[in-house]
């Protein structure tokens, strides 16, 4: 009872893509034992994180497939060449269409702004590539639906499609999911999830692409709210079926962006309109009946990257805090009264998810390790010919929740039912 998955299984009999040599199918490329060659499109903040993942995964984990960081793609030839050299990519390119058309590319990793996810991912899938796409999957439900349709067609030829909800792969979060599936908290009765940052508190912070709806789709809601939506569904194994919410744009005009990197930038002359939300607060109802409270904000002064989730049940509770990401807090309501209280579980033992490949007990992991685990899971899914999680169906489920929150906010926080997907649950 954990992650969502699409009920559609890849066909046991796949046909070669029309016009392509059948020997170049993803399945047979994997069996050829030549390296899986990765092309990454985009090279900003997430590009750096994904680069670390691809570089470290085959060095630390025992993978059945070799991995080669073949080419990095970006619009600025000089900048992308510098980034490729810095992060260890074999080459750089400015035309993503040219790269996708190459027969020697097996995996396309999409880390561009959301407005280009659908076009790039669909083209890559139609070219027979495996695709890893950053979250949120798209900027709209319609785009996400088209991406899932492309992934479903591509699965018939053995191509895999995966969404980058990387926090699932923090060992403590995966272990939290496992404990809930094992009944550690009993019946889930309530969930509290929040993602709080403060990088936009300064009204003079410039108008980056994340603040423009045409590029980002939404603001805090989609950028960081998507994480806590996915995490809630992942750890509980339940869908969010209805929401009631509100969104707010606190600073409505900002200096235009001159230059920027990651979440920071330098202002230019003039001002522009902020067209996305700065904060979103909403309530959700899970398919099992439990109530969930969500907060996604970039205006939590003093909170740099605080993601928390607490799951309360009739037998106990579990809590995770990204600022203490190597541990969980566990409350056992079945313990004798004189011994009750939250207990810290240090998630650094070899039997914990992902940990055995790393360091001795008590030696901590960090933010970048989730991206390593993401690459590992995708490569293993390709080799084993199974669906990697999160699937595009799971990405679409998050997109539908985001859209329902926006609809609710436009209707004075009226309850809105989330679009229904044909999803089944996979046990931990």
pLDDT given at position 24: 37
- Binned average pLDDT, 10 residues per bin, the chain of 428 residues: 31 30 41 86 96 98 97 97 98 98 98 96 98 97 97 98 98 98 98 97 90 88 97 98 97 85 70 94 97 98 97 98 98 95 98 98 97 98 97 97 96 92 50
pLDDT given at position 333: 96
Instruction: Considering only CA atoms, give the Rg of the chain.
Output: 21
Q: Residue 169 in contact with residue 367, Cβ under 8 Å?
A: no
Which residues have a Cβ under 8 Å from the Cβ of 428 and sit 6 or more positions away? Answer: 1, 2, 177, 178, 181, 182, 237
Size of the chain in residues: 428
**How much is the pTM?**
0.89
β-strand partners of 317: 312, 331
pLDDT tens profile 187-234:
999 999 999 999 999 999 999 888 998 888 899 999 999 999 999 999
pLDDT given at position 217: 82
pLDDT given at position 428: 62
Domains of the chain: 4-167 (3.40.50.720), 171-324+326-363+391-425 (3.30.360.10)
């Amino acid at each position: 009872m954990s992650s969502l998955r699409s009920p559609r299984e890849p066909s046991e009999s796949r046909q070669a893509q029309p016009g392509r040599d059948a020997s170049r199918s993803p399945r047979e490329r994997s069996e050829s034992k030549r390296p899986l060659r990765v092309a990454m499109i985009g090279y900003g903040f997430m590009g750096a994180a994904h680069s670390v993942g691809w570089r470290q995964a085959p060095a630390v984990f025992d993978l059945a497939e070799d991995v080669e960081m073949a080419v990095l793609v970006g619009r600025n030839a000089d900048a992308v060449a510098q980034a490729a050299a810095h992060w260890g990519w074999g080459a750089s390119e400015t035309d993503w269409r040219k790269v996708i058309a190459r027969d020697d590319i097996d995996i396309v990793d999409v880390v561009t702004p959301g407005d280009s996810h659908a076009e790039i991912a669909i083209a890559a899938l139609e070219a027979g590539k495996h695709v890893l796409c950053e979250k949120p999957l798209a900027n709209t439900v319609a785009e996400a639906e088209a991406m899932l349709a492309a992934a479903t067609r591509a699965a018939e030829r053995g191509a895999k499609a995966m969404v980058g909800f990387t926090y699932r792969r923090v060992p403590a979060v995966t272990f939290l999911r496992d404990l809930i599936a094992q009944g550690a908290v009993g019946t889930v009765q309530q969930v509290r999830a929040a993602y709080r940052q403060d990088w936009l508190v300064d009204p003079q912070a410039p108008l980056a692409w994340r603040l423009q709806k045409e590029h980002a789709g939404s603001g805090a809601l989609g950028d960081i709210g998507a994480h806590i939506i996915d995490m809630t569904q992942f750890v509980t194994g339940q869908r969010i079926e209805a929401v009631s919410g509100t969104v707010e744009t606190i600073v409505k005009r900002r200096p235009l962006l001159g230059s920027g990197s990651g979440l920071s930038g330098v202002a230019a002359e003039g001002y522009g309109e902020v067209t996305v939300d700065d904060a979103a607060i909403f309530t959700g109802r899970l398919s099992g009946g439990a109530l969930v409270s969500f907060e996604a904000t970039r205006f939590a002064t003093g909170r740099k990257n605080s993601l928390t989730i607490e799951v309360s049940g009739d037998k106990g509770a579990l809590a995770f805090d990204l600022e203490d990401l190597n541990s969980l807090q566990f409350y056992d309501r079945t313990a004798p009264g004189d011994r009750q209280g939250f207990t810290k579980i240090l998630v650094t033992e070899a039997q914990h998810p992902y940990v055995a490949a790393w360091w001795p007990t008590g030696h901590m992991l960090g933010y970048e390790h989730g991206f390593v685990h993401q690459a590992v899971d995708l490569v293993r899914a390709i080799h084993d010919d199974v669906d990697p999680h999160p699937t595009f169906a799971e990405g679409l489920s998050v997109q539908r929740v985001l859209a329902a929150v926006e609809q609710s906010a436009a209707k004075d926080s009226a309850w809105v039912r989330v679009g229904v997907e044909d999803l089944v649950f996979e046990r931990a």
